[in-house]
Structure 1
Amino acid sequence: MNVPTLHQQLRQQFRSRLTDPTRGLLHVLGAYDAWSARLMEWAGFEAIYMSGFCVAASACAVPDLGLVTMSEMAQHADAMCSAVRVPVIADADNGYGGVNNVRRCVQHYERAGVAALQLEDQVSPKRCGHFPGKEVISRQEMVAKIKAARDARCDEQLVILARTDANAVEGIEYTLERGWAYFEAGADALLIEAPRSLLELEKISHVFSGKIPLVFNMVESGLLPQLSAQQLEEYGFRLVLYSTKVLLAVTTYMCNMLTQLAKQPTTTLPVLPFEEFLTLIRLQDYRDMDV
């Protein structure tokens, strides 16, 4: 009898959590590296989201315009999955090319250990879902990508999260048709990016609630006002991603701290005690294993 690996167990755990209607909304923060993922796990979050926006900014200091390669993203996914023992949802952008690129992307991400993979329908180069000027591929091409992603995974528990950015390009009615096509193609969850009104949320809920797990991307300064957890649950959402919240918070603190230090380098600032940092980074675990 084969014993499931940790990554297989985490995929099963995440799929069960996502599809169980008796459990509440799952709140997941966007991580920008393995360390931020570790701290999210320490704080008690059930899962972690590897945000492409955050990785592009933190690793390369570039905007989310498709500038980070698949191999770079897969390396970050591997580092995050190695750092934590909770499910990791990984942003895979548009699969980094055509159908064959999607297959290779899924294989690399699965080997890295992710529990779910988010695949979107933007053209290359893609851009952040809340940036203007987006373009989308045809519905048929995205359906082919979803089918390719399903075929490429070795573990059927790996969740394929289909995301559509068509709302800003084609309007909500065509976007709903795309979402339904992605559902029929075998997507395990659906994210309709950047809804622009509560009426659009109602339409999304009416078509998909109870049929496929719905995911909401909560972006600071996005196109839709901030919604409460209760509101999102009432619309039928199962998972909410706070993709940029931590990166923006960390950046705010660093800018303030660095400004103070630049003016007066000897300024004493509140920081985590060094011994507590060593505990979080699990130094003793490595000492215990050292021969």
Structure 2
Amino acid sequence: MAQINGNKPLSAVQKLRIMLSDPAKFVVCPGVYDGYTARIALAEGAECLYMTGAGTTMSRLGMPDMGLAQMSDMLTNASMLASISPHTPLIADADTGYGSALMVSRTVSSYIRAGVAGLHLEDQVVTKRCGHLRGKQLVDTEEFVSRIRAAVMAREQSGGDIVIIARTDALAGEGYAEALKRLRVAIAAGAEVAFLEGVTTRQEAESLTRDLAPTPCLFNNVPGGVSPDFSVKEAREIGYKIAIFPLLALEVVYPAVRNACRELLDEGSVKSVEKDGKRWGPRELFNVCGLDELMEFDRKAGGKGYVEDA
């Protein structure tokens, strides 16, 4: 584990800041929406996670990403995800901050206490919608900047730390020049990463990273959305510093669960989830979530509940 002064482990936000300052590092963030998908990503070696707002809304509320999730929904999920691996950076969607500057302050302070390493705030109205849907409405630039300023002030007053990412959805309705202007004023107000939602071409993306240099820029990979499906290699070549993949887990879970349900209902058994002719048993599934480590902890503490499982 990385350490400060040879003995104190780095916090998640310190790790994220080191990643952002390292010219050779590109930050790849698989999108997760619950503890299980987070555990799977971590088991496969993910160095940074992204809590998707769409996935949080869909998994916790069973509803689409239409601004229905409130701060409490998002905070509860972010707190749980951050606690799974406290030294792994988690970047979390914070939507609009959920209200006035005072509400933004509460949101940011709460995310800091939860151990979230970075969050993004956007310039849609509070009743927002997914950035890859039509009909988005924006607040004026002054209100957007007040959200960023409130986030910076809340961070200072909290005594903690978090990376503040400014997101604008102005490109679709207002054009590139307006979107660029909004990001520049957000950066001037203290935002540390720029997030232009809904880029439509590689040329547009290259212009963004060039126009905002040296501020790191974030790419939102949403297959089937309005943006190109840039690979990590392509995003890095374009000049991005971070790429988030918010629908990664949602996209693969949908057909897998759908097919399994269809098999069960039509044929009375499920074959599509077999691994080398075998089903995934509870022990292997639970181990993704740390079963062996928890049993070992219990044994070392003197517990007797898992002695026979050694």
TM-score range, shorter chain: over 0.9
Aligned to 1:38: 39
Following superposition, the deviation at residue 95 of structure 1 comes to 0.3
Q: 1:5 and 1:120, CA in 2 relative to 1: closer, same or farther beyond 3 A?
A: farther
Aligned to 1:247: 250
Greater alpha carbon shift after TM alignment, 38-47 vs 274-283: 274-283
Match status 1:170 vs 2:174: yes
Distance 1:265 1:131 in 2: 38
Q: What is the aligned counterpart of 1:149 among 126, 151, 172?
A: 151
Distance 2:211 2:84 in 1: 38
SS at match of 1:237: coil
Q: 1:20 and 1:208, CA in 2 relative to 1: closer, same or farther beyond 3 A?
A: same
Following superposition, the deviation at residue 54 of structure 1 comes to 0.6
Aligned to 1:275: 283
Q: Is the 8 A contact 1:35 1:83 kept in 2?
A: no
TM-superposition CA deviations, 1:101-150 (whole Å, max 9, x none): 10000111111110001111100201000000001111111111111101
TM-superposition CA deviations, 1:1-51 (whole Å, max 9, x none): xx9987x7111001110221122x221111111111111111101110000
Match status 1:125 vs 2:133: no
Q: What is the aligned counterpart of 1:185 among 184, 189, 202?
A: 189
| Structure index of larger Rg | 2
Following superposition, the deviation at residue 289 of structure 1 comes to 4.1
Distance 1:110 1:190 in 2: 20
Distance 1:258 1:174 in 2: 47
Aligned to 1:286: 294
Q: Is the 8 A contact 2:31 2:49 kept in 1?
A: yes
Distance 1:239 1:267 in 2: 39
SS at match of 2:11: helix
Query: Within 5 A, what are the aligned runs for 1:62-77?
Result: 62-77=63-78
Residue identity in the other structure for 1:75: T
Distance 2:255 2:84 in 1: 25
Residue identity in the other structure for 1:255: R
Where do 5+ consecutive residues of structure 1 fail to align? Answer: none
TM-score using structure 2 length: 0.87
TM-superposition CA deviations, 1:68-107 (whole Å, max 9, x none): 1101110001111111241110100000111111000011
Residue identity in the other structure for 2:68: L
Q: Is the 8 A contact 2:112 2:160 kept in 1?
A: no
Distance 1:165 1:150 in 2: 21
Aligned to 2:262: 259
SS at match of 2:78: helix
Q: Which structure would you say has the larger RCO, counting Cα contacts within 8 Å and 6 or more residues apart?
A: 1
Q: Is the 8 A contact 2:32 2:248 kept in 1?
A: no
TM-score using structure 1 length: 0.93
Distance 2:262 2:20 in 1: 42
Residue identity in the other structure for 1:280: V
Following superposition, the deviation at residue 230 of structure 1 comes to 3.1
Where do 5+ consecutive residues of structure 2 fail to align? Answer: 1-5, 304-310
Q: 1:259 and 1:191, CA in 2 relative to 1: closer, same or farther beyond 3 A?
A: same
Q: What is the aligned counterpart of 1:229 among 232, 235, 251?
A: 232
Aligned to 2:3: none
Identical columns (%): 34
Residue identity in the other structure for 1:30: G
Following superposition, the deviation at residue 245 of structure 1 comes to 1.8
Residue identity in the other structure for 1:279: N
Q: Is the 8 A contact 2:93 2:121 kept in 1?
A: yes
SS at match of 2:72: helix
Greater alpha carbon shift after TM alignment, 125-134 vs 143-152: 143-152
Residue identity in the other structure for 1:65: M
Following superposition, the deviation at residue 234 of structure 1 comes to 2.5
Distance 2:268 2:21 in 1: 52
Aligned to 2:52: 51
Distance 2:211 2:253 in 1: 38
Aligned to 1:160: 164
